[in-house]
């Protein structure tokens, strides 16, 4: 989902649709005729509800875990950029100035270009170009001093890590739940709600409250999954705060 209003609209549609199903069933299949089948319907509802609860819980856990991994990977990538900037202080000129400039440019590009592009479903490429320039700068170091060579070796290690973190971020920005899993979630939710609507209850208001609560819970769970399953898109997404902190750290060292 892209906005709060879309989330509210979906939740409202699920609840209203569930109540309409209950009303329609009561008209087509009167409550008095269903009451004798409550034991069978209750057994079926228990099996369906338990199975769907397990599926729903697993999906929520999976998408939240993937979201957390994406957030952590961004932190690692931003830290690698900051480390490249600080380690450049041990290199000779002109590589020192080049790498520090490129590290700032990488972080600024990630904030100003990569995040908007990932939010719109595009694949960012500008940071890859900056990363290539970093490699060219480090590999051009020709120093006989032990300290400078050690700094260059550490820079190469951080650049390897940076490239890996960036590739992981690009991969995570395109991940989403497969359509077959969405089919399981939606159909399972619909079957569970319909089963709850078929119970024959004398108190129609109480049944309406129960259907309302069940459908709202299922709707909110599906909305949460939809909001989280794409880590860099939608209403809930990984922010670029780590790169902003890295930029601030670089500026304070100037």
Say how far apart CA 80 and CA 58 lie, in whole Å: 33
Per residue of the chain (254 residues), give pLDDT as tens. Answer: 678 888 999 999 999 999 999 888 888 877 777 777 777 777 888 888 899 999 999 999 999 999 999 999 999 999 999 999 999 888 888 889 999 999 999 999 999 999 999 998 888 888 999 999 999 998 888 766 778 888 888 999 999 999 999 999 999 998 888 999 999 999 999 999 998 888 777 777 888 899 999 999 999 999 999 999 999 988 889 999 999 999 998 876 55
Q: What is the pTM of this model?
A: 0.86
CB 74 within 8 A of CB 169: yes
Q: Is 187 exposed, middle or buried (0-12, 13-18, 19+ CB in 10 A)?
A: exposed
Under 8 Å CB-to-CB from 4, ≥6 apart: which residues?
235
Q: Which of 242, 109, 232, 240 is nearest to 172 (CA)?
A: 232
List Cα–Cα distances, 110 to 14, 101, 213, in angstroms. Answer: 38, 14, 43
Q: Which of 254, 237, 242 is nearest to 117 (CA)?
A: 237
* Confidence at residue 231, expressed as pLDDT on a 0 to 100 scale: 92
Say how far apart CA 173 and CA 169 lie, in whole Å: 6
Domain ranges of the chain: 4-252
Under 8 Å CB-to-CB from 215, ≥6 apart: which residues?
14, 15, 17, 18, 19, 193
């Amino acid at each position: 989902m892209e906005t709060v209003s879309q989330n509210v609209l979906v939740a409202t549609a699920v609840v209203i649709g569930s109540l309409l199903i209950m009303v329609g069933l009561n008209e087509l299949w009167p409550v008095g005729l269903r009451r004798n089948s409550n034991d069978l319907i209750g057994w079926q509802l228990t099996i369906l509800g338990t199975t769907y609860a397990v599926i729903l819980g697993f999906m929520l856990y999976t998408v939240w875990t993937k979201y957390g991994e994406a957030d952590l990977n961004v932190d690692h990538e931003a830290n690698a950029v900051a480390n490249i900037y600080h380690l450049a202080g041990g290199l000779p000129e002109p590589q020192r100035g080049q790498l520090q400039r490129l590290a700032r440019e990488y972080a600024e590009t990630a904030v100003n270009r990569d995040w908007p592009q990932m939010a719109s479903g595009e694949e960012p490429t500008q940071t890859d170009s900056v990363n290539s320039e970093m490699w060219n700068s480090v590999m051009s170091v020709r120093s006989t001093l032990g300290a400078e060579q050690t700094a260059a070796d550490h820079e190469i290690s951080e650049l390897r890590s940076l490239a890996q973190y960036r590739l992981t971020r690009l991969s995570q920005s395109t991940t989403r739940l497969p359509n077959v899993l969405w089919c399981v979630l939606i159909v399972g939710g619909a079957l569970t709600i319909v089963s709850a609507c078929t119970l024959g209850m004398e108190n129609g208001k109480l049944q309406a409250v129960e259907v309302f609560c069940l459908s709202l819970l299922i709707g909110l769970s599906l909305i949460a999954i939809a909001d989280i399953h794409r880590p860099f898109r939608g209403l809930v997404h990984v922010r670029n705060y780590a790169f902003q902190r890295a930029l601030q750290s670089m500026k304070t060292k100037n």
